[in-house]
Structure 1
Amino acid sequence: MKETWQRNLVVLWFGTFMAGVGLSLIAPFISLYVGTLGHYTKTELNIWSGLIFSSTFVVLAIVSPLWGKLADQKGRKLMLLRASLGMAISISLMAFVTAAWQLLLLRMLLGAFSGFISNSMALMASSAPKEKSGSVLSLLTTGSVAGTLIGPIIGGILVNFTGYRHVFSVTGIIMFLVFLLALFLVKETFKPVEKKDMLSSKEVWKVISHPAIIWGMFFTTLITQMTNQSINPVLSLYVQELMNGKGNITFMAGLVAAAPGIVTLLIAPFLGRLGDRVGQRKILGFGLFFSLVVFLITATTTNVWFLIGMRLLIGVSDAAILPSVQAILAKESPQAVTGRIFSYNQSAQSIGAFSGPLLGSTIAGFIDYRYVFVGSAILVVFNLINYFTHTKKPSLTS
């Protein structure tokens, strides 16, 4: 018979899979959808797309610490229910917008309720055996990756048959199913922390043995999200340019958006198990070096198939970086503050996911699309400096 944490892993894998599908259905064509809500120049469309895409993450960065503190006090399952139901409602309403500012407000509301995947990570990090954290969190990562992989393809197909608005309705239904899944199937053994016993933000850092490592992981998450998200708000426009405006642009944009998930889905569990044996720091370093090389090569893209090939290779670095960060945070965080540490990491992720699209859309609007990848490579250099200065510790290298 499976232990509770093992059953939760199965349930949360499907939950994060469905959340990944729900969130990624709309990502590839969001700039095209914005284009139907008004008459914009290329630069205006790029900026509007960047703002709308990024607004979710601005709000999420602000509210995540508040939700993390509540998670440590009330439990992670409650946060799963809050996130999935709130996302279901806000995404469903996007089907009825008539102006770009309305979509912007709903994307901000979405950010206020997001966090299903991060809370799933926190729940598993606090319940799974520490010696298995790398493999467990890597496996859980493949759930969201698989959903993110399939979602853009489904979204591209649905747009062709039903139009943009119906995709939001489908996404809302999916997120409501995630809510039901968490409500009835996730089990959590949680001892509430009395409000008077809750540690302050300053006290949280006093119970952590190596705070520099935690801060280093936050920075790694921030920069990785910036590089991953920078091309997203203008992705469909870039694909349109590479295809000279001919062919099934939304479907191809979906393939490009999904490409990194293919490799991540296949090798993340292997790299997670390898990290548990050889050290998560080594896997993290490999991922950072590899991403630097791939981004530089991607900047030379001249056709959509070459772009897809390079995005597939980015999946290798994602499979190394993202689970390694989660595993290191799990090992370095006392259980009493796990929720808040993961929520702080969520804030770092959100800041990166906010600033990345703004940077990418600005570069694309004023220079050229391919220079977005040059900017990503420069950011990875800063991540490598952080890697050498903030992660060196025996327990992470052996």
Structure 2
Amino acid sequence: MAVDTSESAATSEVTPLLIPSQSDGGSYTQPENNKINHYDEDAPMPTMQIVMLCYVRMVEPIAFFSIFPFTNQMLLNTGNVSQEDVGFYSGWIESTFSLTQMLLMISWGRASDLYGRKPVLVFFLAGVTIATTLFGLPKTVWQMILFRCVAGIFAGTIATVRAMISENMTRKTQALTFSWFAFTAFTGTFLGPLVGGVLANPAEQYPSVFGGFQFFINYPYALATIGTVFSH
């Protein structure tokens, strides 16, 4: 069977699926050598830059999952919620983080294009750190929901981190780079609930160490949220 070797038939895995035809007034120009970006293909991976970006990627799942082990107990003990309503309010508290994150993700991406990647990421780290810490202090359900919304607002920069990752890799290093990116995300998923569960209600869990601290008796989940911040 004859094989068409003409230039118009040449394709690769980086050839766009839809290429505007000249009859449609399209102005598409095939990139030279089908390169996916303009970076030097033989350039080494900027290890320190990638490590720092992966670290930022780990912060979001730690902040998200750290409250899961103690949210129900927190609602019963300090939120003045009946046992029948714990599941309802727990769902609201845990989902508002993702809701606000979803609603503001595109806006954070635009902000990073307008004001720069680094200022947005620094603002994100400061905001999510403060909001996560404050979640251990509320005494009402609505305060809990409010602080989770605030944390979700600052967690919407995941798109910015992905953009910076893609800007610091080549085709030869993209598989390794995104492997580290995924590895740190799952590391955060592992560390979040572990830290939250170990440090929740320390005055009762570790009375010989924290039993004499009135602050941790009044705010039994403050150490868990503070520990979450220090874990990232």
Q: Assess same fold via TM > 0.5.
A: yes
Structure 1 pair 248–241 and aligned structure 2 pair: CA distance change class (3 A): same
Q: How has the CA–CA distance of structure 1 residues 315 and 4 changed in structure 2, closer, same or farther, with 3 Å as cutoff?
A: farther
CA contact (8 A) 2:70 2:197 kept: yes
Equivalent pair of 1:243/1:249 in contact (CA under 8 Å): no
* In the alignment, structure 1 residue 353 sits paired with structure 2 residue 189: yes
Aligned residue for 2:125?
A: 288
Q: Which has the higher helix share?
A: 1
Give yes or no for the alignment of 1:326 onto 2:162.
yes
> Which amino acid is the alignment partner of residue 376 of structure 1?
T
SS of residue in 2 equivalent to 1:302: coil
* Identical positions, percent: 18
**Residues 67 and 193 of structure 2 are in contact (CA less than 8 Å); yes or no, is this contact kept in structure 1?**
yes
- Out of 370, 374, 389, the position equivalent to 2:222 is 370
Comparing 310-319 with 366-375, which one deviates more in the overlay? Answer: 366-375
Corresponding residue to 1:304 among 120, 141, 144? 141
> Structure 1 residues 130, 291: closer, same or farther in 2, change over 3 A?
farther
1:340 is matched with 176
What SS is found at the alignment partner of 2:44? coil
In structure 1, which of residues 202, 214, 217 is the aligned counterpart of residue 50 of structure 2? 214
Equivalent residue number for residue 230 of structure 1: 66
Structural mapping, 1:179-218, within 5 Å: 207-218=43-54
Rounded Cα–Cα distance in structure 2 between residues aligned with 1:208 and 1:270: 32
Q: Is the 8 A contact 2:62 2:193 kept in 1?
A: yes
Given residue 241 of structure 1, which amino acid in structure 2 is its aligned partner?
A: N
Match of 1:124 in 2: none
Within 5 A, what are the aligned runs for 1:102-117? none
Aligned residues: 181
Aligned to 2:29: none
The letter of the residue matching 2:120 is I
8 Å Cα contact 1:281/1:324 also seen in 2: no
CA contact (8 A) 2:101 2:153 kept: yes
Hey, what's the Cα distance between the residues in 1 that align with 2:115 and 2:143?
Answer: 33
TM-fit CA distance, 1:335: 2.2
Shift of 1:336: 3.0
Matches of 1:241 and 1:211 in 2, distance apart? 46
Instruction: Judge conservation of contact 1:223–1:352 (CA < 8 Å) in 2.
Output: yes
Q: Is the 8 A contact 1:214 1:332 kept in 2?
A: yes
Q: Distance in 2 between matches of 1:319 and 1:233?
A: 23
Higher Cα Rg: structure 1 or 2?
A: 2
- Contact (CA 8 Å) 2:58, 2:187: kept in 1 or not? yes
Calculate the aligned-residue CA RMSD, in Å: 2.6
Instruction: Quote the Cα distance in structure 1 between the aligned partners of 2:71 and 2:224.
Output: 11
Q: Which amino acid aligns with 2:85?
A: N
Contact 1:231 1:360 survives alignment (8 Å): yes
| Cα distance in 1 between the residues matched to 2:127 and 2:88 | 28
**Structure 1 residue 348, shift from structure 2 partner:** 1.0
1:273-298 deviations in Å (ceiling 9; x for gaps): 22123221111111011122223332
Partner of 2:76: 240
Q: Which amino acid aligns with 1:375?
A: G
Aligned to 2:90: 253
1:76 — aligned with what?
A: none
- Letter of the 1:317 partner, please give it: F
| Letter in structure 2 aligned against 1:343 | S
The 1-side partners of 2:74 and 2:137 are apart by: 13
Identify unmatched segments of 5+ residues in structure 1: 6-128, 132-205, 381-398
Distance 2:156 2:128 in 1: 11
TM-score, length of structure 2 as denominator length: 0.69
Aligned counterparts, 1:259-270, within 5 A = 259-270=96-107
Letter in 1 for 2:196: G
Return the offset for 1:263.
1.9
Structure 1 stretch 348-357 or stretch 236-245: which is displaced more?
236-245
Which of residues 111, 115, 127 is equivalent to 1:278?
115
Tell whether the 8 Å contact from 2:169 to 2:177 is kept in structure 1 after alignment: yes
Amino acid at match of 1:299: G
CA offsets per residue over residues 158-180 of structure 1, 9 Å max, x none? xxxxxxxxxxxxxxxxxxxxxxx
Query: AA paired with 1:371?
Result: L
Supply the distance in 1 between the matched residues of 2:17 and 2:145 (Cα, whole angstroms): 40
